[in-house]
Each structure stands twice: as C-alpha cells, then as structure tokens.
Structure 1
Amino acid sequence: MQKILIVKTGGTFPDYAVERGDFVDWTAQGLRLAADRWESVDVQAGEPLPAPAKFAGSVITGSHDMVTDGFPWIEDAKAWIRQAVHARLPLLGICFGHQLMADALGGRAGYHPDGLEIGTADITLTGAAGDDPLFRGLPECFPGHVTHSQTALELPPGATLLATGLHDPHQSFRVGESAWGVQFHPEFDAPAILDYITRREPELRKNSLDSARIRAMVRDTPESASLLERFSAYCMSR
C-alpha cells in the first residue's frame, strides 16, 4: 500500500520544535497513520521531490517563508504541484502550502491587504462544501487556528471555494476532484497558536492589534483538526 508524502516547506521556531516537534510531526500525528505509512521530504532544504505516482497523497506544510520570496525551491515546488495535479494525486496544502498551490495553479498569492491574521478564526463553509469529500458533515461554521501575512489573493481558474472567513475570503478551495488548500492550520493545537501570538506580539502592537483579545478568543479546534484524518482516509480509500 502506498504512503502519504509530507512536503516540508518550513518549520516552527527551532526552540519550540525541540520542545514539541515540528510541522512535519504535527501533521503526521493529525493524519493518524502508522510510522511506516508516511514519509517526508524537506523541499526547503533542497531535497528533491519524488514522482507523484509513488504516493497515495501528499500534504504540503506551512512555512515562515513567503510564496513571493521567489527562492528556487519554491519554483521547484510549484512545478511539482502542477505535475501532481496532472497525475491526480490528492493534495492538501496548509497555509503557505495553500497559497503555493493557488499560485502554482494559475491564481495569485501575496500579502493580505488588511495585514496579519492570527489566533482562532471562524471558518464558514460555502454551499459547495456540502458535497466535498473532506468537508461534508462538518458544521457550517467551526473554529480554526490561523497565523499568516500572505494569502491566496486570487484562486486558480475553475477552483471551487469551500470556506471563507471575516478576514480572509479564501479559507479553503479545491481544484479538480482532489487538490485542496486550507489557509487555516489543522495541525496546530491551542498551545501552539498561543505561542505564536506571544512571539508575534511586537508585530501585533505595530498593527494596532489587541493581543489580549486575540488570546481570549483561542479555543480548541476539533473540526479543523479532523481534516487531516479525513484526508488520509480519503487517500487510502482510493
């Protein structure tokens, strides 16, 4: 049986990774797969991406880099995404991965005109989510952890908008049958997003954002977290 590939495009803060693991670890835990059912490649570090046909699906992680940075590895990852979609490999892009997919497939990523979004946001499903393999059966509105300055400013041609929010109109989309992007972080738990809020407080003050109010809104996000397990089940059932 094929594995799921986790494409590492970045990691959390090094000291926090020592304490709690990195994005790859959080993603693997959320997928709820045995250790021999997934593998990862660190594309940010220049590791080559394997042929999509080798895998049952792939998750593209978040990153502290920006899609518009234009690093060679970012362009290589975008080319691989196009190849994977052509091969009909199920994809799930998270935050940076979501923006990267949008940019790779004909949309456009860039800085959000209203600036930083961080904390726990309300994710509101569109009508199209009712028939979607990942989102069907979820509440119309559920909480999701967010921390991002860039966004998918424009979705790819023909993309299906699955979820929106007050700050970000493109919280999730799907291209074709099985390529999903989510702006929010299903792999984050409440302690992780609280740590990010603390670390970004100087930026919050600079943007006149109330960190105490943002902290008070943080809560658990079980529906968001379920998307990783839903994705792995979808991949393994094909």
Structure 2
Amino acid sequence: MGRSSGETYEALLSHLAPGARCTRIQPADGNRALLGSADLSQFDGVFITGSPLHLYQDSPECRRIITFMQAVFASGTPSFGSCAGLQVATVAAGGSVRSMGQRREAGFARRIFPTDAGRDHPLLRGRPPAFDAPAVHTDEVAQLPPGATLLASNSTTHVQAAEIRSEGGVFWGVQYHPEISLCEVAAALRRQSKDLIEHGLAAGQEDVERKAALVQALHEAPNRLDLAWQLGLDEQVVAQERRTLEVRNFITHLVLPARTQRARS
C-alpha cells in the first residue's frame, strides 16, 4: 500500500472515533513551524507514528521531532506512539535507542507478554497472557527514561510496551504496530525483502513473496483458518478489533477522560 503512517492512523481514528477531527503534521520537516505546548494543549490526544528516522543519530530531523515530543509532554496532552513513536518519546524523556544489529522483527512480533505492571495496566486491557502483533522495525529502545514503566516484552525486543511520564505529560507506547492492516504488513515485507534476505530470514525473493502473498490473502479473507494456520496467527492479529486494541484503550482510558475534564474546567 502507498499510504503514509499518518494516513493509516487517520483512517483508524475515523473508525474508532467517528466524527473526530484529525490534524496531520510533520514535525521533522524543517520547512514547517513546530507547534508549541500551548498549541498542543488544545488537542485531545497526540499520536506519534512510525518513521524511518534513527533516534540515535544527531540529525536536524531527529532534533526537531524530539523537541516536538518534549512540547507534547509539557502540554499535558495524552499521547500514544507505535514503533518509532515509542522511541521518540523515550529519547525525549531522557532514555536511549539503539540499532537491533542482526536481529529483526519483520511482519509480526511473536509471544509478547505483559510484565507484572502490564497485566494491570489499561493499555493492555483485553490482551491475553501472550499475543502476537504486526511489527516491522530495525531499531529498539535501549534504556527507558527515569520513571518509565515497562509494560510488555518478548524474547526479541525487551521493550515492547511502556508508559512514559515526563514534564507533567503521559505517553503510552508500543514497539509493534496495532494500527496497521495485514495488507500493510504484506507491503512492508515486500519493501524490505532485500534486508530480510541479507539477515537470513528468507532464502530469496521467492520466500518473501510467498509470505507476503499469504498475509495479503488473509487480509482479503480474514475468516480463512487455513491461511491463519499457515502464518501461525490467531484473532489477536487477524481481527481488527483485537489487533487495534491498544489504540482503542488509549482513547477510552486517557483521551476521553481528559477531554471530559477539560470540558468541565
């Protein structure tokens, strides 16, 4: 699919919160003025999407998006992020990010499990003791910032979900991608075929295409148990209402209460 990360989130939010007005911005773009905390405080919630940026690099784009995230924290507006969004919030609050080296999570993160703190946290409410989720990333959180809470992990990526509090703001984030469809997973596999082959996850282009075709077919026919079985997936990934649970929980437990409180004040 040719849809951007921002467009993906906007489409999902239109489904989860019909009638919500969304404003898409590109804080890493040096040609655009950054919104400050006063501007951001007028929003009900902020979503930080995936990104090709590597937060351990000192680039103008990285500095801008970190500055933006610090303004989000200072505004007090609830925020949510996936993949690079979690990494942005981590660095903005004083943590660190690193390359995964030879390791990869490509297509799906497997056997994610809530920590003791995560089992009782509303971000993961409704998730089972272990679950899979769409995931495509080559960087990861190396160290969470002071005061952050690790909510979920797996054997490949230690920080799969976290709550980060900084400067009066609260952020919920995940390393995986609850917002993307299986169609987008298939497109990501095809885009990253060279990397998958180089890292030994596929023997050749044919292997990547075979996997992507299965994922695409399951997107088009989510009730086909044979496809889900071949991919080792269950309703936690296949069913949209389960796959997008963290975004829904964020809206329910942080955005709507904050909006109600603002309306009363």
TM-score (norm 2): 0.75
Q: Does 1:116 align with 2:96?
A: no
Q: Deviations over 1:27-53 (max 9, x none)?
A: 122222345522111223333332321
Q: 2:120 aligns with which of 131, 135, 145?
A: 131
Find out whether 1:29 has 2:48 as its counterpart: no
Residue 106 of structure 1 pairs with residue 94 of structure 2: yes
Match of 1:70 among 37, 58, 73: 58
Which digits, 9 at most, give the CA deviation of each residue in 1:133-182, with x for residues without a partner? 32123212222111111111111112100010121010011013731121
- Amino acid across the alignment from 1:192: E
Deviations 1:85-123 (A, max 9, x none): 233221112111111111111111110144332111222
For residue 124 of structure 2, give the secondary structure of its aligned residue in structure 1: coil
SS in 2 for 1:92: strand
Deviations 1:10-69 (A, max 9, x none): xxxxxx32xxx3211211222223455221112233333323211111000001232234
Aligned residue among 181, 187, 191 for 2:173: 181
Aligned to 1:156, which of 128, 145, 154? 145
User: Helix, strand or coil: the match of 2:72?
Assistant: helix
What residue identity is the alignment partner of 2:195?
E
1:196 aligns with 2:184: no
In 2, Cα distance between equivalents of 1:206 and 1:128: 37
RMSD over aligned CA atoms reads 2.3
1:81 match: secondary structure = helix
Paired residues in the alignment total 220
5+ residue gaps, structure 2: 212-229, 259-265
2:187 corresponds to which letter in structure 1?
Answer: D
Q: Which amino acid aligns with 1:53?
A: S
Are the counterparts in 1 of residues 152 and 159 from structure 2 also a CA contact under 8 Å? Answer: yes
Match of 2:69 in 1: 81
3-state secondary structure, aligned to 2:244: helix
Give distance in 2, aligned partners of 1:134 and 1:98: 14
Inter-partner Cα distance in structure 2 for 1:207 and 1:130: 33
Structure 1 portions without partners, runs of 5+:
1-15
Answer with 130-139 or 190-199: which moved more: 130-139
| 1:205 to 2:197 alignment | yes
Runs of 4+ more than 4 Å apart: 211-214
Q: Which amino acid aligns with 1:208?
A: G
Which amino acid letter does the alignment assign opposite residue 61 of structure 1? T
Aligned partner of 1:7 in structure 2 is none
* Cα distance, 1:160–1:224 mapped onto 2, change above 3 Å: farther
Query: C-alpha separation between the residues in 2 aligned to 1:81 and 1:125?
Result: 26
The Cα shift of 1:72 comes to 1.7
CA distance in 2, matches of 1:139, 1:89: 29
> What residue in structure 2 maps to residue 217 of structure 1?
231
Higher strand share: 1
